[in-house]
């Protein structure tokens, strides 16, 4: 596809359950980012991948959150033992990366709206 895609678009789960959110970046983009956006707020950084490795995971709120990008393309954000406070829109973005590092434009996907009941 031409843009960043995310699945599912909506996810409703119960407190304590495990969820996985998927992101397909733009083909050829080596940098991938996850952000979380609560209602009425700006997005907050969670984690940044350059290739397969997490170059910066300092935004992950706690050890219930984990993300992988095993082949340097698709990424999965995993949340264990979900809590009501995890409810938010989870946004993925990608950029060319490489020599430009994080200096270039980030292209965002439509997001996954997670609701924890």
Partner 1 sequence: SQQGEEDPQALSIQEGENATMNCSYKTSINNLQWYRQNSGRGLVHLILIRSNEREKHSGRLRVTLDTSKKSSSLLITASRAADTASYFCATRETSGSRLTFGEGTQLTVNP
Q: How many residues does the chain have?
A: 117
Radius of gyration of the chain (CA): 13
Figure out which of the listed residues 56, 64, 74, 87 binds partner 1, where binding follows CB under 8 A.
Answer: 56
- 117: tokens are 């009941």
Say whether 21 sits in a helix, a strand or coil.
strand
- Asked if 101 interacts with partner 1 (CB under 8 A), we say yes
Under 8 Å CB-to-CB from 61, ≥6 apart: which residues? 46
Q: Is 1 in the site for partner 1 (CB under 8 A)?
A: no
Binding status of residue 74 toward partner 1 by CB under 8 A: no
Residue 57 as a binder of partner 1 (CB under 8 A): the answer is no
Residue 98's SS3 state is helix
Q: Which of 77, 96, 97, 99 is nearest to 88 (CA)?
A: 77
- Binding-residue pattern over the window 29 to 48 for partner 1, x denoting contact by CB under 8 A: --x-x-x-x-xxxxxxx--x
Question: Pick from 67, 109, 114, 116: which binds partner 1 (CB under 8 A)?
Answer: 109
Nearer to partner 1, 59 or 72 (CB): 59
Residues at the site binding partner 1, with contacts judged by CB under 8 A: 31, 33, 35, 37, 39-45, 48, 50, 55-56, 59, 89, 91, 93, 101-103, 105-111, 113
């Amino acid at each position: 596809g031409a843009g960043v895609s995310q699945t599912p678009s909506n996810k409703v789960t119960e407190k304590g359950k495990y969820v996985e959110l998927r992101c397909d970046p733009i083909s050829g983009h080596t940098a991938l980012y996850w952000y979380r956006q609560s209602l009425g707020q700006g997005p907050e950084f969670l984690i940044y991948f350059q290739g397969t490795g997490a170059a910066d995971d300092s935004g992950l709120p706690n050890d219930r959150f984990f993300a992988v990008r095993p082949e340097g393309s698709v990424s999965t954000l995993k949340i264990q033992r979900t809590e009501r406070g995890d409810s938010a829109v989870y946004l993925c973005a990608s950029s060319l990366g490489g020599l430009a590092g994080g200096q270039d434009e980030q292209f965002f996907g439509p997001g996954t709206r997670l609701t924890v009941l």
